Amino acid sequence: MERQDAITALLFTTADAERIVGVPRATARRWLEGYSYPYRGETRRTEARLGPHAKRIDRTLHMSFLDLVEVRMARRLRRQGVSWRRVDEAKALFRKEWASDHPFALRRLRTDGREVFAEIGQRLNDSRLIQIGNDQSVFDAIVEPSLFDVLDFRDDGLPFRLWPVGKDGQVVVDPSRAFGQPLLDRWGVPITILAAAYAANDNSAARVAAAFELPVEAVEAALRFAAEARLAA
């Protein structure tokens, strides 16, 4: 699979979002396809906020790698106290400035984000945009280094790999490998296979390491990720 196809292919489900980036399935579903709710005797609807690639296949909601990255970004921004109104406004702002369907997944968000906010705030008379442009908390949240340090970017600024527990953790999510399932980067072994082998071998990391000809430390890193993913689920 070519890398350009890989980052836009619908390889991930909301269950994957829960395991990989810690966003509950129901939350990811609401963000990716919107939801309806009753209000004073009528039905209102909130439209999808993220995931232009997301769609249902055989009744299961699927998303692309770029959608997954933006779900992770939105979770981090919300956890840092940025309101959905600010997230929506900032996303619309960057989408317009950079003509991108996934502005929160662009590397330039980290390098150019503050400058674009400031420029827009200064040059437009729209008070809403000026307010975003002068909002220091939004600045700080959007250009926060940890949003980007776990991603590898291509020359065009789009991400193509995610290191869910950091680049020292050995576990990578690469949509061009193993259909995007988390694996040990250097050896290419999916985490699910190692976790199943661990359970089948009396919970012995040493036995699993010997069977797959892997360092014990690598197997232990894989198992830590598997355990954390189960807790997130």
Same domain (yes/no): 171, 195: no
φ, ψ for residue 214, nearest 5 deg: -120, 155
Q: What is the pLDDT at residue 233?
A: 41
Neighbours of 120 (CB within 10 A): 18
Instruction: Give how many domains the chain has, as a whole number.
Output: 2
Same domain (yes/no): 149, 203: no
SS3 192: helix
Q: Give the Cα separation of 226 and 97 in Å (integer).
A: 39
- Domain endpoint, select from 137, 152, 181: 181
Amino acid at 83: S
Same domain (yes/no): 18, 36: yes
Are 1 and 179 a contacting pair, CB within 8 Å?
no
φ, ψ for residue 7, nearest 5 deg: -75, -15
Same domain (yes/no): 161, 73: yes
For tokens 């150019």, name the residue: 112
pTM of the model: 0.86
Encode pLDDT of 195-208 as tens digits: 999 999 999 999 99
Neighbours of 22 (CB within 10 A): 19
Same domain (yes/no): 155, 58: yes
- Domain endpoint, select from 166, 181, 196: 181
Q: Give the Cα separation of 189 and 29 in Å (integer).
A: 29
Of the candidates 1, 7, 5, which has an alpha carbon nearest to the alpha carbon of residue 162?
Answer: 7
Q: Give the Cα separation of 52 and 122 in Å (integer).
A: 30
Encode pLDDT of 51-94 as tens digits: 999 999 999 999 999 999 999 999 988 888 888 888 888 888 88
Amino acid at 192: T
Full domain range(s) for residue 197: 182-233
Same domain (yes/no): 10, 114: yes
Same domain (yes/no): 199, 142: no
Same domain (yes/no): 88, 147: yes
Q: Higher confidence at residue 209 or residue 80?
A: 209
Same domain (yes/no): 31, 127: yes
Q: Give the Cα separation of 119 and 113 in Å (integer).
A: 10
Please tell me what DSSP assigns to residue 58: T
What distance, in Å, lies between the first and last C-alpha atoms of the chain? 29
Same domain (yes/no): 112, 169: yes
Same domain (yes/no): 32, 94: yes
Same domain (yes/no): 75, 176: yes
Encode pLDDT of 134-159 as tens digits: 566 676 777 777 888 999 999 999 99
Q: Give the Cα separation of 32 and 26 in Å (integer).
A: 10
Q: What is the pLDDT at residue 215?
A: 96
Q: Give the Cα separation of 170 and 200 in Å (integer).
A: 23
